[in-house]
Amino acid sequence: MRKFDTMQFNIEDDWFEYDSLIDLWLPMRLQLKNTNTAIPVLKDPATGTNIQILLKKIKPNVIIETGTHRAGSAKFFVDELSEIHVPNKNYLVITLDIIKSYKDQLSTMDGKPYPKGCWYNILQEEDNFDNIKFVTVDSSKLQALYLVKSILKRNFQSSEDYNILVSLDADHTCEHVFKELMLYSTLIKPGGYIVVEDTIEVWFAGAKVEIQGYNIGGPLAAVIKFLRDTPEGMNFDIANDDFELVRNEDGRCHNFPYGLLKRIS
């Protein structure tokens, strides 16, 4: 494992070959079992594949996700956990969003309304719906951490019973992601992981990016700041190279270069 060194952030790296940010962010759709509905996951398929690889190797039984959107990623995570979790072991996805998304976002990715009600209702028909816990909160606030801890307390007898992976995919400003890292890192045991989504934005900072409200570069800047100012008594490092992640024939890889963090001690 390398020790953190600012020199390793070389955005001249050519390890991926995306033509445009839009190309990268072509989202996935997740077909739900009990309906003809596909819900949108705001991850490109290559990132989805690599997250699957990570989950199968790391085998967490709890995923804490910030940024629910329309719960496509939460459903994707819970499906993965239901496949990999050890029999009789409890598994849970706790997903946080500032917007009460299940009430506010009624349309599919095409802008068409769902056949009946919103995605939340449709998701309720799924077998593992109860394994997803939805929390409406600003994920950068201390209150969010308390809410997550209370869910963990209600669902597990002791902290020995869970192995958490955190996925940060809410507000992408440096300030927000840094606060999230400081909060949720405290839940990670030595050997555990945090995925900081969209660190790849920096590679496109010079490109013409027309995504309103996007503060390009925030997630990677937050990673750098966090590795410098990690909470007392903890040691994290970048762990992307610890895993053999796939790269498609067209060069696509994933959206979190330097964004996989491991708690070393």
Ligand X SMILES: C[S@@+](CC[C@H](N)C(=O)[O-])C[C@H]1O[C@@H](n2cnc3c(N)ncnc32)[C@H](O)[C@@H]1O
Q: Which of 51, 170, 183, 196 binds ligand X (CB under 6 A)?
A: 170
Is residue 168 helix, strand or coil?
strand
Mapped onto helix, strand or coil, the DSSP state of residue 63 is strand
Tokens of 64: 């804490």
The correct pick among 50, 61, 131, 140 for binding ligand X (CB under 6 A) is 140
Residues whose CB is less than 8 angstroms from the CB of residue 65 and which lie 6 or more positions away in sequence, other chains included = 73, 74, 77, 93, 94, 95, 96, 166, 167, 169
* 254 makes contact with ligand X (CB under 6 A): no
242: its two tokens: 């610890």
Q: Which of 21, 30, 43, 221 binds ligand X (CB under 6 A)?
A: 43
- How many residues are there in the chain? 265
Closest CA to 251 of 23, 2, 37: 23
Is 169 a binding residue for ligand X by CB under 6 A? The answer is yes
| Residue closer to ligand X, measured from CB, 30 or 238 | 30
Figure out which of the listed residues 21, 96, 164, 239 binds ligand X, where binding follows CB under 6 A: 96
Rg (CA), the chain: 18
Tokens 């963090």 appear where? 261
To the nearest whole angstrom, how small is the minimum distance from the Cβ of residue 16 to ligand X?
19
Q: How far is the CB of 95 from ligand X (least distance, A)?
A: 8
What is the contact mask toward ligand X in residues 44 to 73, using x (rule: CB under 6 A)?
A: ----------------------xxxx--xx
CB 146 within 8 A of CB 187: no
Q: Based on CB atoms, which residue is closest to ligand X, 143 or 235? A: 143
Q: Is residue 242 near ligand X by the rule CB under 6 A?
A: no
- Whether the CA torsion 71, 73, 77, 83 is positive or negative: it is positive
Tokens linked to 93: 């996805």
By CB under 6 A, residue 179 contacts ligand X: no
Q: Nearest distance from residue 140's CB to ligand X, in Å?
A: 6
Q: Which residues bind ligand X (CB under 6 A)?
A: 41-43, 66-69, 72-73, 96-99, 101, 138-140, 169-171, 176
